[in-house]
Structure 1
């Protein structure tokens, strides 16, 4: 009787190729708590129990800066040559770069610094236990409304469908809609949802890290 092999790998993917239009300057390397913004999300993903890690970078100087900021972490790197075409392009670059045989990939954004390793562990565990086509995150307080936001863990067959999506789709929403009945959703506290895409949001993040009340 043969011994079962290890389960197919689940990778963590950090998307860092955004153009930072609302910030007014590249945000990936802006300091937050004394380290580059992107490193906060990278550290959470690196502690999330994935079998491999991939970061999708913008081209040029900013991408090289991100690569340097994560050099001590076990990330592979891929470049999105045209970030102006939207977030879906980074999903596609990741799907094309991931090694054969992955079971799925957990996509996180580089500008969400308050995710934790435990949140990623929970998504990977839910995916392993259910085999769902997607495991999604929502954020909110008990009894209140919730908001959907990354990370998004997508099964390998959904990743294969990414090239066929229209460029107008800002992410893999169409894929998820097509499998809505089988999707698993985990809800996390609202405090983890902060997308640092404006100077005001960066100031709010600094205040939170310092233990100060948000303005």
Structure 2
């Protein structure tokens, strides 16, 4: 008998933030010749999730600009209708837009372009090897490990994404912690972009990663 097909896993890039601290749309900040969100989307695509990549964008003109910044990449899009309410709205917008029969979704943040395709792939491989309800990433910063996306959630957990505000489903992570599969990622990949002072450092880090081939 043929073996059953592996569950479809969709990569989800959350890119609907309003960049209040930065004062300009961080998705569109040009780093190493490309918009920041392009680097994040390219890395997730290159990990080749079986269900493709879905990008959550803001509504209106900013959403149109983010889509334009990603033109030419094989992506699907959906809008977070109220990004001002926090990232919890983006999680739920993504879940509503997932294709039928999705087995799991791996969520990543659009402002963490140092998370590489190999790092995304390690999340997908951990799920494929364990069917764990959660695959969580832990970044070793030297001062202690920090939990941060990418995080993968199995489809049976989607109905419980009922958090409100600017954070992910902490209650699910706490409830299923003992059943979670963990992957370890380097602390330098945790870097994100929140202030104008961060831009030069992020660009240097991206160029260094490109030069090293990592």
Q: TM-score, normalised by structure 1?
A: 0.91
Deviation at 1:198, TM superposition (A): 1.3
Pick closer, same or farther for the CA change 1:37–1:127 going to 2, 3 Å.
same
Deviations 1:120-151 (A, max 9, x none): 1110010111111111111115x751111111
Q: Is the counterpart of residue 110 in structure 1 residue 107 in structure 2? A: no
Q: Is the counterpart of residue 205 in structure 1 residue 202 in structure 2? A: yes
- Which runs of 5 or more residues in structure 2 are unaligned? 209-214
| Structure 1 CA distance for aligned equivalents of residues 164 and 64 of structure 2 | 26
Q: What does residue 30 of structure 1 align with? A: 29
| SS of residue matched to 1:154 | strand
Q: TM-score, normalised by structure 2?
A: 0.92
Deviations 1:38-71 (A, max 9, x none): 0110011001120211000001111111111212
Which residues in structure 2 correspond to 1:36-51 (within 5 Å)? 36-51=35-50
Contact 2:10-2:54 at 8 Å conserved across structures: yes
Q: In angstroms, what is the RMSD of aligned CA positions?
A: 1.4
- Which runs of 5 or more residues in structure 1 are unaligned? none
Which residues in structure 2 correspond to 1:140-179 (within 5 Å)? 140=140, 145-162=144-161, 165-168=162-165, 170-179=167-176
| Structure 1 CA distance for aligned equivalents of residues 180 and 163 of structure 2 | 22
Size of the aligned set, in residue pairs, is 207
Q: Is the counterpart of residue 184 in structure 1 residue 181 in structure 2? A: yes
* Further displaced range: 132-141 or 51-60: 132-141
Query: After TM superposition, which residue ranges in structure 1, 4 or more long, deviate above 3 angstroms?
Result: none
| Structure 1 CA distance for aligned equivalents of residues 13 and 144 of structure 2 | 27
